[in-house]
Amino acid sequence: MQTTEKQVLRLGIAGHALVHLFEGVTPPLIPLLAREFNTSYLALGAVVTLFGYLFGFGSIPAGYLTDRVGPRRLISIYLVGAGVVSLLFPLSRSLVMYAFFTALIGLFASSYHAAGNTLISRTVSEKGKAFGIHGIAGSIGTALVPALAAGLAALGGWRAPHLVFGVLSIGLGVLSLRVPEAPPSPISQAPRSDPMPAAGAPSSATPVPAPKAKRPLGPVPTRYLVTFWLGTGLFGLAMRGVLTFLPAYLGESFALFGEGNGIDIVTLGGLSATVVLLSGAVGQYLGGIAADKYSGETLYLLILLMSSLLLPFMALSSGFALVAIGVVFALFGFAVQPVQNFLLVRYVHPESHGKMFGIHFFLVFGVGSAGAVVSGYLADVFGLASVFLGMGLFSTVATLCILYLHLSVRAGLPASSVTPTEVS
């Protein structure tokens, strides 16, 4: 791996981990925030949804800007901007002010996924592996934030995690300026090779066989891309609902059955959620490796099927059994992300990667953020366990969408005019 590729991957690892610290800082604090602002699960779910909506919605303009001003510049803006806003949280005196600062961070952070994935796709040669490593970093951030946020809150109150993450973000933003900007598009630099020379054209060299690679698809029929994104958005909704109330559900579960050994519910929920979500990092890596070797559509279908089957068991479990099932769920639930990214790279033209990743992450995080408010309603009316049954239904519908996509690809999609070396 070349020096520039290493720099890009290091920035991706740190930036992706941090963006999920920002995304996941509120759920572990829900019991504290509910007391601080005297509010309900529904209202706090709405705060998480507001963050997610802006986090996702901003991905669309960020995708277009990525193709025009460069992905690394957008990453630097996100890091410094989100960091500065995080330092304003001590000014929060109401849930409205808290929600406002949370929304601003969501808007700044919205540029990361489109920019980060585009930076990797344009710079790193082993894309599947790179997406897997990049995904691991995000999963580690997602996994560590419950324990980090709960631990910092235990030491300095609910404002402390925001302040610490803000300082980290500003520091990383300054360091990111050392990373070179990516070239405009790999397709503009890669010569197109015809399988047969034109009639009468001289041949100066013996043709060299292209390296073995998956034949890219794309542009695929619109209905197939819509089906892919519909499944992605629905599963994103299910994951957001699960992740929002997982720390509170785990803490309540241990407390109700006397297994907490005197630890407060916030710390208990944060620590156990971190144990569950750490397996997501393994899932990210395995998903990225598998995407380079096997059919992406088949992998996508199997991952969603397993995730859908596990969610009802989480609703019916408690204590250490719940943690064990949650570990398996996280393994599959996070393995989907590098598979999604790899499929999207195959489906669309390289010059459109930025805006297509923007649309993709709008669906994952923007539309998917509705899972937080839906789950908040379910938790208020039916209890926290109902969240996992409800999200299981959304995951099942997502599985049916990807089943259709899988069968469509097996029936045969039109081949792309883009050569394999321009994709991977």
Domains of the chain: 3-184+215-423 (1.20.1250.20)
pLDDT tens for 298-321 read 888 999 999 999 999 999 988 888
Residue 184 has pLDDT above 70, yes or no: no
Residue count (the chain): 424
pLDDT of residue 418 exceeding 50: no
Mean pLDDT, residues 357-377 taken together: 83
Mean pLDDT score of the chain? 80
32 Cβ contact partners less than 8 Å away, ≥ 6 residues apart: 153, 157, 158, 266
Which stretch, 157-166, 237-246, 247-256, has highest mean pLDDT?
157-166
Beta bridge partners of 415: 217
Is residue 337 over pLDDT 60?
Answer: yes
For residue 351, what pLDDT is reported?
Answer: 67
pLDDT band per the 50, 70, 90 thresholds, residue 165: very high
- The radius of gyration computed from the CA coordinates of the chain, to the nearest angstrom, equals 22
Judged against a pLDDT cut of 80, whether residue 67 lies above it is answered with no
Q: What is the pLDDT of residue 104?
A: 95
| Cα distance between residue 329 and residue 244, in whole Å | 15
Q: Which amino acid is at 317?
A: S
Residue 147 predicted with pLDDT over 50: yes
Note the pLDDT of residue 205: 43
The answer to whether 26 and 44 are in contact (CB under 8 A) is: yes
For 69-115, write each residue's pLDDT tens digit.
888 889 999 999 999 999 999 999 899 999 999 999 999 998 898 88
Q: Give the span between the Cα atoms of 209 and 206, in whole angstroms.
A: 10
Provide the pLDDT for residue 423: 35
pLDDT tens figures, 37-46: 999 989 998 9
Q: How far is 266 from 149, CA to CA, in rounded Å?
A: 9
CB 275 within 8 A of CB 355: no
**Entry pTM:** 0.70
